[in-house]
Structure 1
Amino acid sequence: MRLWSVHPQHYDRQALTACWREGLLAQAIIADPTRRGYAHHPQLQRFRETRDPLAAIGDYLAAVVDEADARGYRFAREKILKTGPVERIPVPRGQLEYEWGHLLRKLEVRTPDLWERWRTLPLPAPHPLFTVVDGPIADWERVG
Structure 2
Amino acid sequence: MERIILRLWSLHPRYLDPQGLVALWREALLAQAVLQGNTRGYKSHPQLERFRARRNPVAAVGAYLVAVCDEARERGYAFDRTKIAMAKSHKPIPVTAGQVAYEWQHLLGKLAGRSVEIHRRLRTVQTPQCHPLFEITAGDVEAWERPSARE
Q: What TM-score results when the alignment is normalised by the length of structure 1?
A: 0.96
1:113 corresponds to which residue?
117
The CA deviation at 1:21 is 0.3
2:17 is the counterpart of 1:22: no
Aligned residues: 143
Cα pair 1:54 1:83 within 8 Å, conserved: no
The answer to which of 92-101 and 120-129 deviates more is 120-129
Give unpaired runs (5+ residues) of structure 1: none
2:136 is the counterpart of 1:142: no
2:96 corresponds to which residue?
92
For 2:72 and 2:124, locate their aligned partners in 1 and report how far apart those are by CA, in whole Å: 24
Give the letter aligned to residue 120 of structure 2.
E
Cα pair 1:8 1:67 within 8 Å, conserved: yes
Structure 1 residue ranges (4+ consecutive) displaced by more than 3 angstroms after TM superposition? none
For 2:54 and 2:127, locate their aligned partners in 1 and report how far apart those are by CA, in whole Å: 25
1:10 corresponds to which residue?
15
What per-residue deviation string (whole Å, max 9, x for no partner) do you get for residues 82-107 of structure 1?
A: 02332100000000000000000011
For 2:146 and 2:125, locate their aligned partners in 1 and report how far apart those are by CA, in whole Å: 24
Aligned identity (percent) is 51
Q: Give the match's secondary structure for 2:108.
A: helix
For 2:140 and 2:74, locate their aligned partners in 1 and report how far apart those are by CA, in whole Å: 32
What per-residue deviation string (whole Å, max 9, x for no partner) do you get for residues 57-98 of structure 1?
A: 001001000000000011111000002332100000000000
1:74 corresponds to which residue?
78
Give the letter aligned to residue 118 of structure 1.
L
Give unpaired runs (5+ residues) of structure 2: 1-5
2:130 corresponds to which residue?
126
For 2:72 and 2:22, locate their aligned partners in 1 and report how far apart those are by CA, in whole Å: 8
For 2:36 and 2:71, locate their aligned partners in 1 and report how far apart those are by CA, in whole Å: 24
Cα pair 1:91 1:133 within 8 Å, conserved: yes
Give the letter aligned to residue 11 of structure 1.
L
Q: Give the match's secondary structure for 1:81.
A: coil
For 2:127 and 2:61, locate their aligned partners in 1 and report how far apart those are by CA, in whole Å: 23
Q: Give the match's secondary structure for 1:132.
A: strand
Cα pair 1:96 1:123 within 8 Å, conserved: no
Q: Give the match's secondary structure for 1:17.
A: helix
Q: What TM-score results when the alignment is normalised by the length of structure 2?
A: 0.91
